[in-house]
């Protein structure tokens, strides 16, 4: 269904965003549009950084403590509306302690419930925290479509500009609301940003533009809203202050070239980063395992 929607939306997409979007748009060829862009040209280092997770990693367990998911509202000065976000607090969450925060962004057809539906971050985190494999953290899943009607309705590609506006909403409205409503460690070393597809592009664009705010950045299967590598990181030396740059993608994903291109740039500039390539496509299981490994690296010194 998602693929169908994307297919149907493609003609409008090219006329609407072809001029403004920095990465190449899917080309329209005789015989129909090339959904999701360029053919994948694999390189020798396009390999897994992490194994397939072991069975049960995503199963809710009765023998571990559970965190909490809650849907909250905040006033968005940027959009001029009250907006919703889904917030995970870890097991035993207490105002006696302060927690690091991961801002986790959805894809072009999603909204604030998408990560919950695709990957159940609350289950992954409860299990990992119980095993001592992830730091107790707050996970904020906002709505990255910063416009008055933020539902994924109609031509979902038409809302692409609102995904760029979300930079302001995130910095001016979302983060302050979280930091006043929850017991957080409010410095860059305790703030991470990651997302899938459109949200991966947002995470790279916003993360690198705000190195003073985020020390951990992850792009999963990042979409063509991602800025070009030299725009993301014009001064590679500035990346030395980052604790983690994570890039992952499935080798069957037609958007692969975007992640691969940024990885090649980072490699050429000798900027340390994680490059995790699976054999998957552009799909929820890809993002679930990416999140599973990403959360094991953030807020830990050995990352």
CB of 81 to ligand FER, least distance (A): 22
Q: Which is nearer to ligand FER, 26 or 100 (CB)?
A: 26
Examine residue 107 and tell whether it contacts ligand FER (CB under 6 A).
yes
| Contact residue for ligand FER among 116, 147, 197, 248 (CB under 6 A) | 197
User: Quick one: which of 125, 143, 34 has its CA closest to 79?
Assistant: 143
Which of 160, 177, 277, 290 touches ligand FER by CB under 6 A? 160
Inter-residue contact 86 to 104 (CB < 8 Å): no
Minimum distance from residue 160 beta carbon to ligand FER (Å): 4
If you ran DSSP here, which 8-state letter would residue 158 be given?
A: G
Q: Are 191 and 217 in contact (CB under 8 A)?
A: no
What are 179-185's contacts with CB under 8 Å, separation 24+?
A: 179/101, 181/72, 182/87, 182/89, 182/99, 182/101, 182/138, 183/93, 183/94, 183/95, 183/96, 183/97, 183/98, 183/99, 184/98, 184/99, 184/100, 184/101, 184/138, 185/98, 185/99, 185/100, 185/101
User: How many residues of this chain bind ligand FER (CB under 6 A)?
Assistant: 14
Task: Based on the shown chain and the rule CB under 6 A, indicate whether residue 25 belongs to the binding site for ligand FER.
Answer: yes
Q: Binder to ligand FER among 90, 121, 144, 224 (CB under 6 A)? A: 224
Cα of first residue to Cα of last residue in the chain, in angstroms, is 37
Q: Interface with ligand FER includes 223 (CB under 6 A)?
A: yes
The one among 79, 85, 105, 108 contacting ligand FER by CB under 6 A? 108
- Which range in 46-54, 144-152, 167-175, 219-227 contacts ligand FER by CB under 6 A? 219-227
Residue 33 in the binding site for ligand FER (CB under 6 A): no
* Site of interaction with ligand FER (CB under 6 A): 13, 17, 21, 25-26, 36, 107-108, 160, 197-198, 223-225
């Amino acid at each position: 269904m998602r693929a169908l929607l994307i297919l149907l939306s493609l003609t409008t997409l090219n006329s609407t965003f072809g001029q403004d979007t920095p990465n190449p748009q899917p080309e329209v060829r005789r015989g129909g549009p090339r959904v999701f862009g360029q053919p994948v040209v694999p390189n020798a280092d396009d390999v897994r950084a992490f194994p397939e997770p072991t069975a049960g990693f995503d199963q809710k367990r009765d023998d571990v403590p559970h965190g909490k998911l809650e849907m909250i509202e905040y006033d968005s000065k940027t959009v001029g509306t009250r907006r919703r976000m889904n917030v995970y607090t870890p097991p035993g969450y207490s105002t006696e302690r302060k927690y690091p925060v991961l801002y986790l962004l959805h894809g072009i057809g999603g909204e604030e419930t998408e990560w919950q539906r695709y990957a159940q971050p609350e289950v992954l985190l409860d299990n990992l925290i119980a095993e001592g494999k992830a730091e107790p953290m707050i996970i904020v899943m906002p709505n990255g479509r910063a416009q008055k009607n933020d539902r994924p309705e109609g031509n979902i590609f038409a809302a692409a500009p609102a995904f760029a506006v979300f930079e302001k909403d995130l910095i001016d409205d979302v983060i302050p609301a979280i930091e006043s409503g929850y017991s957080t460690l409010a410095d860059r070393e305790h703030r991470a940003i990651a997302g899938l597809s459109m949200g991966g592009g947002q995470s790279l664009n916003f993360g690198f533009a705000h190195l003073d705010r985020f020390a951990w950045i992850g792009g999963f299967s990042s979409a063509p809203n991602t800025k070009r590598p030299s725009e993301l990181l014009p001064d590679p030396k500035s990346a030395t202050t980052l604790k983690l740059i994570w890039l992952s993608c499935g080798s069957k994903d037609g958007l692969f070239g975007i992640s691969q291109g940024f990885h090649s740039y980072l490699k050429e500039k000798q900027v340390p980063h994680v490059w995790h390539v699976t054999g998957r496509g552009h799909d929820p299981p890809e993002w679930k395992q990416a999140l599973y490994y990403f959360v094991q690296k953030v807020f830990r010194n050995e990352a």
